[in-house]
Amino acid sequence: MGAEAADSPRRTTFLVRWVAWVSAGESLGFLAPAAAQSVSVAFWPAAGVPLLVLAGLAEGAVLGWFQGRVLESRLPAVSVRRWVLLTAAAAAVAWTVGLLSFSSESWQGWPAAAQIVTETGAAMVLLVSIGLAQWFELRRHVPGAWRWIAGSAAAWAVGLGVFMAVATPLWQPGQDLWLTAAIGIGAAVLMAVAMAAVTGLVLVRLLPKP
Number of other residues whose CB lies within 10 A of the CB of residue 42: 9
DSSP secondary structure letters along 126-166: HHHHHHHHHHHHHTTTSTTTTHHHHHHHHHHHHHHHHHHHH
Residue 3's pLDDT band (cuts 50, 70, 90): very low
Most confident of 25-29, 30-34, 93-97: 25-29
Interatomic CA distance for residues 20 and 13, integer angstroms? 11
pLDDT value of position 1: 44
**pLDDT score of 41 more than 90:** no
**What tens digit of pLDDT does each residue of 136-181 get?**
999 999 999 999 999 999 999 999 999 999 988 888 887 787 788 8
What pTM, to 2 d.p., does this model score? 0.86
State the burial class of residue 106 (Cβ atoms within 10 Å of its Cβ: 0-12, 13-18, 19+). exposed
Instruction: Give the rounded percent of residues in the chain with a pLDDT score beyond 90.
Output: 53
Mean pLDDT calculated for residue range 87-97: 93
More confident site: 176 or 57 = 57
Interatomic CA distance for residues 136 and 117, integer angstroms? 27
